[in-house]
Chain A
């Protein structure tokens, strides 16, 4: 385990058009992250009062407050007000990370094709790794998919995908599979709206993938996963749901942009918790 983060190296890519003050703030934010990592990330501990930290990082109050905003966004620390207050170390939550990625993809109007190219790439990796990494509890769970596909479809149709990702024991793979599954929901009105025939197809595909993993055949598991996701992409492309929230491959860059703030449905569609992502309030 490394003791510093990429940010701690002070090599954050600069955005074009940022003011010198913003650059200084980004540098200070990187130093704060580095200090938190060097301390072993003790959640809840006070990094220092504002006065102490102004002295330590030798910057103006304005630059420091900008840096605090950045580290709050990165979920490394947040401000605690009042006596004994200052910058307190926080635990990054997965929901806030997912919210940030989903929001970014929404704002750049990621296309269905782009989403599925990424889903296929990461889920192929998960399917290929799974046979060699399976333990006995995983095997029992996979058998439930292989033997009783219809029952296994409920309550969460993403369950097989999440299970294969967790079998990999790779936190980044788990995170990306989870995020992309949620984003896929934005291209439709949700699984509840899919007909029984589609649900049965998906359950059958999941069962065949589970069988391949149980049989210890990484190449077969990988091919079946790809086929399943290609079928899902085709289905979503043809369906062109009027309720879909992201543009499909034909609609890039044109038409009015919808404001995420005006579409609360967008948040619930991904299963993200709004509260988890909100900035810490000053109270």
Chain B
């Protein structure tokens, strides 16, 4: 079944499955818990198939790892390895849509005032991850980016941040250019240099 499709109304499902209302509601709770389907109440309501949501999964994994006491060094080494692999794939596979998203992300980052930059500073990384057309790697990258966001906000003092942010924007533009030109070795190299430099600043 496709996302958005109606599985059935509560009454239909009780009849079809031959269960009590209480049992059906418990089953629906499980489906809702896993974001597989959701019961909408009221007229025109019923059980609807949910769109698979990367952000819900990302959130859950990020919170679990934060709870496990993941260190900044753990995050940095994994993020570098994963995003370097992604940069190489993105350079080999980038298409018109991917390039457009990369440009939008760079524009947002360049245009945002310093105080808001934390909200958009990872957009280029998210766009590169999307351009790699490798959804498992993308999911891992999204988890690591989500975790990075927290640590960076905590550790960048306002007085260094202006300088660092200008440098970050230049690095992002260079990575995007390498990805767009299809040079996978250069894209990998620039991503590694950028993340190593970032890790050194955060330490």
CA distance A114 to B67 in the complex (A): 28
Size bin of chain B's contact surface: 35 or more
Q: Which B30-89 residues have a C-beta within 8 angstroms of A?
A: 30-36, 51-57, 59-71, 74-75, 77-78, 81-82, 85-86, 89
In angstroms, Cα B140 to Cα A66, docked, is: 27
Contact of B36 among A75, A128, A260 (CB under 8 A): A260
Contact (Cβ within 8 A) A105 B78: no
Residues in A whose Cβ lies below 8 Å from that of B66: 2, 5-6, 37
Cβ of A259 under 8 Å from chain B: yes
Residues of B within 8 Å of A4, CB to CB, are 150, 154
Note all chain B residues with C-beta closer than 8 A to A13: 55
Whether A74 contacts B136 in the complex (CB less than 8 A), given A9-B150, A125-B81, comes out as no
What is the chain B residue whose CB lies nearest that of A8?
A: B150
> A6-B66, A97-B61, A117-B136 given. 10 additional CB < 8 A pairs?
A2-B150, A72-B33, A74-B59, A75-B63, A94-B64, A107-B36, A117-B134, A121-B81, A175-B61, A279-B33
Instruction: List B residues at the A interface (Cβ < 8 Å).
Output: 1-2, 26, 29-36, 51-57, 59-71, 74-75, 77-78, 81-82, 85-86, 89, 119, 134-137, 139-140, 143-144, 146-147, 149-151, 153-154
Q: Which residue of A lies closest to B35 (CB)?
A: A73
A172 adjacent to B144 (CB under 8 Å) = yes
Mind listing 16 A-B residue pairs with CB under 8 Å? A5-B62, A5-B66, A74-B59, A75-B64, A76-B63, A100-B57, A101-B57, A107-B52, A114-B136, A122-B82, A171-B65, A171-B70, A173-B74, A257-B1, A257-B2, A278-B33
Residues on B with beta carbons closer than 8 Å to the beta carbon of A33: 63
> How many of chain A's residues have a CB under 8 angstroms from any CB in B?
64
- Which of B65, B75, B147 is packed against the most chain A CB atoms within 10 Å? B65
